[in-house]
Every structure is written in C-alpha cells, then in structure tokens.
C-alpha cells in the first residue's frame, strides 16, 4: 500500500507534468501561429482602401444590435458614438431590455423618437415588444430603438435580429466604443469570402479604462491606472492578439466576443438565434453556427481580425471581476455540455476533433486542474513528500513560461498595432507580465472554480428534487403507466451514473493491471491482462444490471435520497476495489468471505501490524473516494436522452448473468497466482460471501449440494471415526531409550520449501536447517493442509478435518483425540509457545480446550525480550528469539517429559525483524554463496525482506539448538520442524508450492539421516508419532481415532485417504491423492519436487473427485452433527 501510494504520487506528478507539457506545446503553437496570422493580416491590409466600402452602394448592409439594460446614464452618448460610425449601408438597433431606469425616455428626447408601426416577423421567439421607435430627424434615420419586456441579453439580441434588415448583424455591448472605421474593417472579411462562407467575424477588443474619450471617440490611449485593470489589459492582449488570431488562422475559432462580433444573419436565423438559457450566449451561438455548417457539409470560416476595433471598460473591482469570470466559466460549461456530441466526433471535423476538445481540456479544465494542483500541493506538503528542488524548478519554469508568453504577446501587439506605444506603458506592461502570475492569475482560477460550483448549484438540482417532479407527473396514471414511467425515468437517470461508474471501475482495472505489471512484471503475461479486463467487464455489467433493478425498485417506492445513496455506494465500491486488488498484490491471497472469520480485534491487529494505517494511506483512500465521487456527482445531474442506452446496458448485464459463457482464456495450468491475478477481485469477494452466506443460513442447500455431487454413500454419524491401525514407521529410525522421548514441534510461520531447501526455486536460505538434515529424517515432499495458519495446529496435533471454516473456528470443539490430550494422558507436560496473541485464529481456545499445561503467548513476555519492530506503534508480538528462549527456560524447569508446540512469528507479513540490517546483509551473502544465476539472484533480491526474515529464524534456530545441545534433556528429545504454509508473497511456480513445506524430524536419537520422497502431509504426523510412542514406549492410545492421515509411510499414496487442502477459511478446492492433484476441478499430475502438469485423464479425475466429494460429505456431517466420535469412545479412553 505504501508502495502503491508512492506509485499514485508518481502518477499524479506525471499527470500534472504531461498536462503542463501539453499546455506548453499548445501555447507555443499559438504563439507561432498567431505571429503568422498577424503578419499576414497587417502586411496584406496595410494599404487597403476602406473608403471603397464606405461609399459603395454595393457594400453589404449591416445591422448593429446593442442591447441596453439600465444604461440611462450613458445611453445617449453611446448611441451618438454609434451614429458617427463610417458606414453607409447601416442600421443601428438599440434594444431596451425592460430597463427600470429612464433609458427610453432619454433616447426619445435626445433623438426625437416616435413610436412607429413596424412589420416585424418574429422568426426567433422572444419576449413581447412594447414598441419600436424611429427618429423624426432624418439625420438619425439609421437609428431604430426597440422597447421590450426584460428577457436578458440573449433575448434582447434575438429581438434585434428579428427587427434587423441587414445582411450581417453586429452584436455589441451598448457601452462599447467602436472605432469609427470598425464596420469598414469588419465588412472586408465578409466581402473577401469566396469558396468558404464567412459566418462570423470578430475584432480585437481593447480596454477603455483611463483612455481619454471625447465625443464617444478614444483620442488618447493609456494603460489602466489600477493594477487590476492592467492585468486585464495584458490578458486581453494575450487573448485577442495571440489566442484568437491563431485559432482564426487554424479555422478553429469558436468564440466571438459578445462585446463586439459580426455574424451572417441568414445563418443566425437558420440556427435559431441566441440561446436565452445560457449565460455564454456568444460562444454558444458560434458553436451552433459551426455545428450547422458541419452538418450541412458546407465550407465556412470564423475569423478574427487583429485591428483594435472596440473599446470597453473592464471591471476594476475584484468582486465584479470574479462575477464576470464566474459567468464566463458557466457559459463555457453550458456550451460544452450542450454540444457534448461534438467532442472527438470526426463528423464535425476540426470543430469536433480540435476546437471543442481544446476548450474542454484547457479552457474549462485548465482552472480546475490548476486548483486541483494547489490542493495536491498542500496534501503533499502536509505529508512532507515534496521534492523541493524539483518543485522549485517546476514552479519557476511555469511562472517563467507564463511571463514569456505575456511578453511575447506585448511584442507582437507592439509590432502589429502599436496601441500601447509609450515607453512607460510598455515598461508597465512588462512589469504587469511579471507580476500577473503572482497577483492575478490565482484569482481568475478561483473565479473559474466558483463558476463551476455555481453552475451546479444554480442550474441543476439534486436527484431528489428532480424526483419530486417525477412523482407529481405520475398522479392519476394507471398502474402500468406508472411502472413504465418509473422504469423509463429510472433508466434515464441511472444510465449516466452507470456509465461513468463503469468507466471508473474499468480505469481502476487498468490501474490494477499496471500495478501487477510494476510489481510482478517478470511473471505476468498478456492473457492475464486480457482475462482481468474481460472478467471485470463482464462482472461490472452484471453488477450494474442487478443494481439497476434495485434502483428502479427504490424509485418506485419513492426513496428520497437515491442519488446520494448511489454515489456513496459506488464510490465505496471503487475504494474497495482498490483495497481488494492491493490486498491481493501484497498477500497474493484473494480476499473473500474469510475476512468475516476474523474478529474485529484480529482485523485491527492485522491492519495495524501491516503498517497500513498511516496518514498517507488514509489520505490516499480519501483521494480514491473523491476520485470516484466527483465525476459521479457531476454526472448525476444529467439524464440520458432516452432509456435505450440504459436498457441495453441492463439487458447485456442480465444476459451475462444468465448465460454461463466464459469469455476468458484458461490460465489454470499456470500457478494459482495467475488464475487469481486474472479474475475480478470483487466478483470473488461477492461469490465467496454469497456462498458462505448460503452455507451458513441454508443448511438444506448445502446438504443438497453435497449430496448431489455423486453417488450418495452413507457414512454414518461419525464418518471420520476408524480403528487406529497406523504402522510404527518411525520406530525403526530411532534408537530406543529407557523413557519416552520429549517431543517438540517447531512450526515456522511461512516457511516454504522454495526458499528453505536446496531444491527450492528461490534458493536455500536456511543454511542451519539444511545442516540439520544430515542428522534427521527429512521429507522432501511434505504438504501443509492450508494456505494460512488457521489449520496447522489441528492438522499436526489431531490430523483433523476442517469443519466449515477451519477446525478452530467452531464455537464448540467436538470431542476428539489429539497429541496434546493423549500425551497429557500419558503423563507428559504440554505447552504451546507463541510470540503474539494466541487468541488469534482461536489458537488459545483450542489449547485451553486441550488443557495444555503451559500456554505462553504475548502476555507471558516481559523486558528484555524484544518485540518485533512495530509499524505505527503496532507489532505482531515478540520475536522468534524470545519465543525460543521461553521454550528453553520452560523445558528446563519441566518436571515431567514434555510435549511442546512452538509457532513462530517473525516470518509473517510485514516481515519486520530486529537487526534488519544484519539479516539483509546475510541475504546478500547467501545469494553469493548459492552462486545463483543473474535472473535467480534478481528474483531473490526482489524478496529480500521476506528472505531476511527467513534467515532470521534460521539464525534463531541455530542459537536455540546450540543451547539445547548443551542440556541433558536434548539427548532424549525429538524435534519436528516444519512450516505452516509457504509465503504467498513469494511467487509460486506451481499450485502446490503454496503448501510445499519442509518436514524434518531431528533428534540425537535418529539412527541415521534419511530423505523421503513420498508425498506426505501434516495429517500424517499425529498418526505416525502416536504409533511410534505406542509401539516403542507403550503409550496408551485410543483404539478408534478420527485421523485423516494414515501415517508418514502412507501419506498421499493410493493407500491413504488423500490430502484435502483448504487454501483459506472459505476456499476448499484442492485435493491430493495418489500422485495427482485436483484443483478447482482441474486435474494435475504431480511430478518431481511437487511440480505439476495438467492431466486430462477422466478416470483419475473422477476418482479424485469422488474421494474429495466423500471427504466433503464427511466434513458436512461434522458440520451438521458437531461430533467426530461418540462421547463414550472419548470418555472411555480417558477414564480408563
């Protein structure tokens, strides 16, 4: 998880870097392209004789439309300024948009207006017109004043369009000051068109603040006095001189400023005029016009000319500026959303493939990404994970690039138009360019973010509010209509969320695959990715289909907080998806229903000890929730146009639920890791929990399932009960002494054969254990009975079955025989030694049930014993050195022969040990000693942490035996050394590697060392040891037992029962018998060193299946009856 959060950190940094690089490249392109556009325009129009248009009767007619709302203070002067424009074929339409002041009265008086009958054709629907005025004075014949009810700027412009007679319309803000030749210059591009129709044209807008204005004309240009104005002056230069010119040249312009822009009226009418529902009506209209032209497959251009034609006052108050930028952002979002169909749609050419994506990714997302960057910077700062040299370099680079861009814009402006030519103004502008990133840019970004916030707050309601509307419409409808309406409404609401959720889920799958590639890149191959993707896709479609049904039902019953519920549930689902695959990648175990077999305290201990609870990881998890919740919340505001998409999604999902088709490759012949890596972790989690729930709560279903798996055979009440007839296999290998020898089980946590044996594929990292093999009986092919620790004690001590979720998980243990109670019965002192809390996995319960004499666990240790290093203050318990020392001390004081069971701890995840550095070095030394190939050495190094812990226990065992050998009781003690299972964190070559553990019986009593190659298991230990003590030392042992194993000489051979294996507390899929391994219904032939190859033999498969099923039926009996043997058998033995 820590590595994972580091990965996320790197991904975040790179995403921002890539985004910055994209911006850098785009702005570089804009700079270069704008230079060309400006040069072309200025060079080619330098000697244009605009007077030609001014006087020519063939010049196109223009209608200026200027909406006015409460402009009474300035409107008379503004209109006078418009009337002084040089253009013959012109009408000026002032639309008084229901002003509350005396605008209309002032105009009537100033221009001698009279109400006239006007033949108006309302092509675009608008608010009602009160009256249309024209002047009685012929000097003002160009002027038309329309008085209407208030409807907003777009509505007023639409009225103007309806009233206008010109071929082209020029929409302006009434308070703008136009250059007198503005229309001449604006008309030229329209007159210049040939093959491509010019549909809209804009000019450069400049700031009028602090300029000297006489009679509605700018006579002296000055920079604004206030810095806020200057920043905006710079912004306008960048936007108009660079941005718009470049996009105009590239035929990608989609914004003609609402303050001043000319449009082809015919096309505007065809497109329906301005949209009064949007606040960004200027941009929206241009996009709609372009969209129309693309759909009609007509050639067209949207142009911007670089002449400064219009002067406008910009806000010099920060509050007004914020409102303005807020509105611009809302306008952008509205337009992008309204025309979302265009996004990356090749049908719309450059508009769909370049312009709209550019606006989405850089104009809309730009401020949001920047804001997110600030947030992430603060998070990184709090976590102290900022690399300051990198940060400062990047920061200075970003700021410098911004300054460069601004200065470049000033230079081009100077070269092309020379608006600001005074040296002082230029120097101030350069100073402004330097200060702008620090004092202005951030405010604009924040205004943009608040625009986004307002967009949702004001324009859209939460689902439950929409719901009220839906319910109201359903009243008085028939039941069927209501159901139908419910389904359609639900599907339309559900579809956007479902699709985004699916995208997020699949994006996470991509992350999962990437993470596996990073962590296990040498082992993973393409089929895994394919399977992972397909299995998850199928799963999420199935899941969404099921969820849709729940959703529809909740809508039907009128659940009020549906959106909140679904967003929360889906966000948590995504979070848990990450947790599930991280759990797998860390432990190589799939998390299933077994998670519920741990108590709250146990889970707490596991999580704390793993070091996962830290601020960084919590923040990381919160980040994932945000990552899911934000887009889900965003999309929850919208409905799909119809229910078809949702219906298709659900239909597909339900078909996949019903059809048993498998779409993935078979990777079963590889190791378990591959098959587990390639499946949906969520599917596994749900499946195991579902099955477990059924098993727990519907006993009949379980019995039915088991009993329908083959020929029903009645095993009686106690199917595991049998006569004790185990051969004394061990006796011949030991020297006999005059008293029964002590017995010590050393069960090493996670000790797999792969790294503790000369034939292990990782290498032998237990040199001391290996040295013991020369004096021991050694089983090379021993199997544990589970993939986790939970079954090791019942298997070794009692050769016991699993019951439902492991023998120790039972609330009450059924009476049975095991080494503990039999040894106690034969006068031995027994003990259990564990460095952690023995309550874990109910080990303490079991030992107390067996009445062991010495139960040593966490509570029994004190200083100076050392705990394992803690992560975040939580440690699994005391180190192995401490545990083994306790064994030495306790046995020294023993007054009777003893039988002890020791379970070590250090080789458990997170593999933290005391003296880590020393053992890390030992691993390096060992790798050299083993003379591994380069690849093998690389593989070993990748598990350094785990191998260091293995070398630690090996070292601890050496010290333990060194001390023991000096004691008198050593000579009459038998040590059984084995592992509880192999570490899942270390890669498995074959399925059985998970269970392949060493088994060494070491004792000074061993006559001669010997290695056995037959397959045995932990089940075989208790029978063989019991037979040995009974035969050699006259132990009283029961005549009837419930051992699964038949002894170390029989093991998994055809004479035995076979070895059932449970991987986790809910996974019972493996069975080994007579040289074959049945795993999840797939048969494998076991060859040398427990490696495997797929086998298709039906008869063998049937045989193993039958035996495995028999075991399961017997186990089911145990679950049903909660008894292994009659009480009388048990009590008779102990009472006699």
Partner 1 sequence: MIFLKIELHNLTLALTALLLFVVVLIIAVLIYGYKNYQLINNAQQWKNLIEEKISYSIFNGIGDIQKDQEFEKLLKNKNFKKIFISVLIESDQRFVGDAHKILKDIFYIYKLDKLAWEKLQSNNIYQNVRGIQVMTAMNVIDAINKITHHLNHKNPYVYSEAQYSIVRLNGFEGLKFLDSLEKPLSDWQQMRLSQAIKTLSHSDFDSICQWLSNQNQTVINFALSLIRKFRIHSIHDNVINLLNHQEIYVRINAIKTLQTIDNSTTMDTLIEIYPKQENLIKVEIIKFINRTGDKSRMQFIKDILEKERDIYILIEVVNLLKKFNDYTHLQEKATDINLDSKLLTVIKNALHSKL
Residues near partner 1, by CB under 8 A = 7, 10-11, 14, 17-18, 39-40, 43-44, 46-47, 49, 52-53, 56, 58-60, 116-121, 188, 190-195, 387, 389-390, 393-394, 396-397, 400-401, 403-404, 407-408, 410-411, 414-415, 418, 421, 423, 426, 430, 514, 518
Task: Give the shortest CB-502-to-partner 1 separation in angstroms.
Answer: 23
Q: Which is nearer to partner 1, 403 or 625 (CB)?
A: 403
Task: Give the shortest CB-182-to-partner 1 separation in angstroms.
Answer: 17
Q: Which is nearer to partner 1, 403 or 569 (CB)?
A: 403
Q: Which is nearer to partner 1, 44 or 378 (CB)?
A: 44
Task: Give the shortest CB-287-to-partner 1 separation in angstroms.
Answer: 26
Q: Which is nearer to partner 1, 60 or 72 (CB)?
A: 60
Return the DSSP state at 810. -
Task: Give the shortest CB-390-to-partner 1 separation in angstroms.
Answer: 5
| Closest listed residue to residue 1080, CA positions, set 1091, 1089, 1068, 1090 | 1068
| Closest listed residue to residue 69, CA positions, set 39, 88, 32, 94 | 94
Task: Give the shortest CB-267-to-partner 1 separation in angstroms.
Answer: 15
Hey, what are 241's tokens? 């001189």
Q: Which is nearer to partner 1, 522 or 601 (CB)?
A: 522
Q: Which residues pair with 206 in a beta bridge?
A: 311
Q: Which is nearer to partner 1, 267 or 772 (CB)?
A: 267
How far apart are the C-alpha atoms of 285 and 263, rounded to whole Å?
Answer: 10
- Residue whose pair of structure tokens reads 């998390």 in the numeric block: 591
Helical packing angle, 365-383 and 2-45, nearest 10°: 150
Task: Give the shortest CB-398-to-partner 1 separation in angstroms.
Answer: 10
User: What residues contact residue 256 under an 8 Å CB cut-off, 6+ apart?
Assistant: 200, 201, 202, 262, 263, 282, 286, 302, 304
Concatenated DSSP letters of 578-628: HHHHHHHHHHS----GGGGGS-HHHHHHHHHHHT--SHHHHHHHHHHHHHH
In this structure, the chain runs to a length of: 1136
Hey, what are 765's tokens? 């990292």
**Maximum separation of any 2 CA atoms in the chain, in Å:** 137
Task: Give the shortest CB-881-to-partner 1 separation in angstroms.
Answer: 39
Return the DSSP state at 59. S
Task: Give the shortest CB-196-to-partner 1 separation in angstroms.
Answer: 10
Task: Give the shortest CB-190-to-partner 1 separation in angstroms.
Answer: 8
User: What residues contact residue 726 under an 8 Å CB cut-off, 6+ apart?
Assistant: 1023, 1024, 1026, 1027, 1043, 1046, 1047
Ramachandran region, residue 1003 (left: φ > 0; alpha: ψ -120 to 50; beta: rest): beta
Q: Which is nearer to partner 1, 123 or 595 (CB)?
A: 123
How far apart are the C-alpha atoms of 500 and 186, rounded to whole Å?
Answer: 45
Q: Which is nearer to partner 1, 29 or 118 (CB)?
A: 118
Q: Which is nearer to partner 1, 387 or 1080 (CB)?
A: 387
Task: Give the shortest CB-88-to-partner 1 separation in angstroms.
Answer: 13
Q: Which is nearer to partner 1, 514 or 704 (CB)?
A: 514
For residue 550, how many other CB atoms are within 10 A of its CB?
13
Task: Give the shortest CB-194-to-partner 1 separation in angstroms.
Answer: 4
How far apart are the C-alpha atoms of 91 and 112, rounded to whole Å?
Answer: 17
How far apart are the C-alpha atoms of 404 and 267, rounded to whole Å?
Answer: 40
Asked if residues 210 and 223 have their Cβ atoms less than 8 Å apart, the reply is yes
Hey, what are 368's tokens? 């949001």
Task: Give the shortest CB-14-to-partner 1 separation in angstroms.
Answer: 5
Q: Which is nearer to partner 1, 195 or 215 (CB)?
A: 195
Q: Which residues pair with 494 in a beta bridge?
A: none
Task: Give the shortest CB-157-to-partner 1 separation in angstroms.
Answer: 21
Asked if residues 241 and 251 have their Cβ atoms less than 8 Å apart, the reply is no
Q: What is the CA radius of gyration of the chain?
A: 41
Q: Which is nearer to partner 1, 17 or 622 (CB)?
A: 17
Phi then psi dihedrals of residue 206, to 5 deg = -120, 165
Q: Which is nearer to partner 1, 434 or 937 (CB)?
A: 434
Task: Give the shortest CB-407-to-partner 1 separation in angstroms.
Answer: 5
How far apart are the C-alpha atoms of 478 and 536, rounded to whole Å?
Answer: 40
Q: Is 653 exposed, middle or buried (0-12, 13-18, 19+ CB in 10 A)?
A: buried
């Amino acid at each position: 998880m820590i590595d994972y959060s580091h990965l996320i950190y790197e991904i975040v940094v790179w995403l921002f870097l890539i985004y910055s690089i994209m911006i850098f490249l785009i702005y570089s392109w804009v700079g270069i392209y704008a230079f060309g556009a400006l040069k072309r325009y200025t060079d080619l129009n330098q000697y244009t004789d605009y007077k030609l248009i001014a006087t020519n009767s063939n010049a196109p007619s223009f209608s200026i439309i200027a909406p006015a709302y409460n402009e009474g203070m300035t409107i008379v002067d503004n209109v006078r300024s418009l009337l002084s424009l040089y253009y013959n074929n012109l009408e000026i339409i002032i639309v008084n948009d229901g002003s509350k002041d005396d605008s209309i009265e002032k105009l009537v008086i100033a221009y001698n207006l009279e109400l006239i009958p006007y033949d108006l054709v309302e092509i675009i629907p608008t608010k009602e017109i009160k009256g249309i005025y024209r002047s009685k004075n012929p000097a003002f014949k160009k002027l038309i004043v329309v008085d209407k009810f208030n409807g907003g700027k777009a509505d007023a412009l639409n009225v103007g369009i309806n009233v206008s007679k010109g071929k082209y319309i020029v929409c302006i803000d009434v308070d703008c000051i136009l250059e007198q030749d503005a229309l001449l210059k604006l008309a030229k591009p329209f007159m210049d068109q040939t093959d491509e129709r010019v549909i809209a044209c804009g000019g450069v807008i400049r700031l009028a603040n602090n300029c000297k204005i006489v009679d509605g004309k700018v006579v002296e240009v000055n920079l604004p006095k206030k810095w806020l104005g200057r920043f905006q002056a710079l912004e306008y230069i960048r936007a108009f001189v660079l941005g718009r010119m470049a996009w105009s040249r590239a035929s990608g312009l989609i914004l003609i400023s609402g303050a001043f822009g000319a449009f082809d009226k015919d096309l505007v009418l065809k497109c329906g005029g301005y949209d009064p529902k949007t606040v960004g009506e200027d941009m929206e209209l241009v996009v709609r016009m372009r969209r129309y032209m693309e759909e009609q497959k007509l050639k067209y251009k949207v142009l911007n000319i670089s002449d400064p034609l219009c002067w406008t006052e910009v806000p010099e108050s920060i509050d007004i500026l914020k409102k303005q930028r807020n509105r611009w952002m809302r306008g952008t979002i509205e337009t992008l959303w309204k025309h979302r169909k265009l996004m990356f749609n090749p049908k719309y050419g450059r508009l769909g493939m370049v312009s709209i994506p550019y606006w989405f990714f850089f104009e809309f997302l730009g401020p949001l990404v920047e804001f997110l960057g600030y947030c992430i910077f603060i998070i990184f700062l709090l976590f102290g994970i900022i690399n300051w040299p990198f940060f400062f370099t990047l920061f200075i680079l970003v700021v410098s690039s911004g300054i460069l861009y601004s200065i470049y814009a000033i230079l081009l402006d100077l070269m092309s138009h020379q608006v600001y030519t005074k040296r002082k103004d230029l120097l101030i502008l350069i100073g402004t360019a330097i200060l702008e990133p620090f004092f202005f840019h951030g405010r604009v970004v924040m205004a943009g973010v608040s625009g986004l916030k307002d967009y949702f707050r004001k324009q859209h309601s939460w689902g439950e509010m929409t719901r009220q509307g839906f319910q109201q419409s359903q009243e008085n409808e028939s039941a069927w209509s209501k159901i139908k309406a419910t389904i359609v409404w639900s599907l339309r609401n559900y579809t956007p969320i479902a699709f985004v959720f699916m995208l997020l889920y699949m994006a996470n799958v991509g992350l999962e695959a990437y993470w596996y590639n990073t962590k296990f890149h040498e082992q993973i191959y393409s089929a895994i990715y394919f399977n992972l993707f397909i299995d998850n896709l199928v799963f999420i479609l199935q899941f969404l289909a099921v969820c849709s049904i729940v959703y529809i039902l909740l809508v039907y019953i009128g659940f009020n907080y549906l959106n909140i519920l679904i967003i929360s549930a889906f966000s948590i689902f995504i979070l848990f998806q990450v947790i599930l695959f991280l759990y797998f990648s860390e432990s190589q175990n799939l998390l299933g229903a077994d998670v519920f077999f741990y108590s709250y305290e146990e889970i707490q201990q596991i999580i704390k000890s793993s070091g996962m609870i830290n601020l960084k990881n919590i923040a990381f998890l919160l980040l994932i929730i945000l990552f899911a919740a934000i887009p889900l919340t965003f999309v929850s505001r919208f409905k799909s146009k119809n229910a078809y998409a949702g219906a298709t999604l659900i239909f597909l999902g339900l078909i996949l639920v019903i059809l048993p088709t498998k779409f993935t490759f078979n990777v079963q012949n590889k190791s378990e890791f591959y098959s587990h890596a390639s499946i949906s972790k969520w599917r596994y989690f749900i499946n195991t929990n579902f099955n477990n729930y059924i098993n727990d709560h519907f006993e009949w279903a379980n019995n039915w399932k088991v009993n329908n798996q083959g020929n029903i055979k009645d095993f009686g009440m106690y199917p595991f009960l049998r006569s004790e007839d185990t051969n004394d296999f061990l006796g011949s290998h030991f020297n006999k002494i005059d008293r029964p020898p002590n017995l010590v089980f050393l069960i090493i946590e996670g000790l797999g054969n792969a790294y503790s044996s000369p034939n292990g594929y990782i290498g032998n990292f237990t040199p001391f254990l290996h040295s013991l093999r020369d004096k021991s009986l050694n089983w090379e092919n021993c199997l544990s009975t589970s993939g986790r620790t939970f079954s090791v004690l019942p298997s070794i001590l009692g050769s016991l079955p699993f019951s439902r979720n492991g023998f120790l998980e039972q609330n009450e243990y059924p009476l049975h025989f095991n080494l503990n109670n039999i040894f106690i019965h034969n006068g031995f002192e027994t003990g259990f030694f564990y460095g952690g809390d023995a309550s874990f996995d109910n080990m303490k319960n079991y030992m107390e049930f067996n009445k062991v004499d010495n139960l040593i666990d966490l509570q029994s240790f004190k200083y100076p014993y050392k705990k394992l290093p803690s992560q975040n203050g939580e440690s699994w318990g005391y180190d192995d050195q401490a545990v083994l020392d306790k064994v030495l001390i306790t046995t020294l004081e023993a007054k009777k022969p003893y039988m002890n069971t020791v379970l070590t701890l250090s080789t458990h995840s997170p593999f933290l040990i005391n003296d880590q550095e020393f053992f890390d070095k030992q691993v390096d030394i060992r790798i050299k000693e083993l003379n591994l190939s380069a690849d093998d050495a690389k593989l070993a190094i990748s598990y350094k942490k785990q191998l260091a812990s293995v070398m630690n226990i090996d070292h601890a065992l050496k010290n333990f035996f060194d001390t023991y050998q000096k004691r008198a009781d050593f000579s009459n003690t038998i040590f059984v050394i084995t592992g509880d299972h192999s570490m899942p964190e270390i890669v498995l070559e074959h399925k059985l590697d998970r269970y392949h553990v060493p088994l060494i019986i070491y004792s000074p009593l061993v006559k001669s060392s010997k290695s056995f190659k037959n397959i045995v298991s932990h089940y075989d230990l208790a029978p063989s040891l019991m037979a040995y003590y009974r035969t050699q030392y006259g132990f009283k042992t029961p005549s009837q037992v419930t051992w699964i194993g038949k002894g170390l000489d029989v093991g998994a051979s055809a004479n035995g029962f076979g070895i059932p294996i449970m991987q986790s507390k809910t996974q019972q899929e493996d069975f080994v018998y007579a040289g074959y391994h049945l795993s999840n219904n797939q048969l494998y032939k076991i060859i040398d060193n427990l490696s495997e190859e797929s086998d298709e033999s039906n008869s063998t498969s049937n045989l193993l299946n039958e035996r495995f099923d028999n075991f399961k039926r017997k186990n089911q009996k145990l679950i049903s009856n909660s008894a292994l043997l009659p009480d009388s058998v048990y009590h008779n033995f102990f009472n006699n």
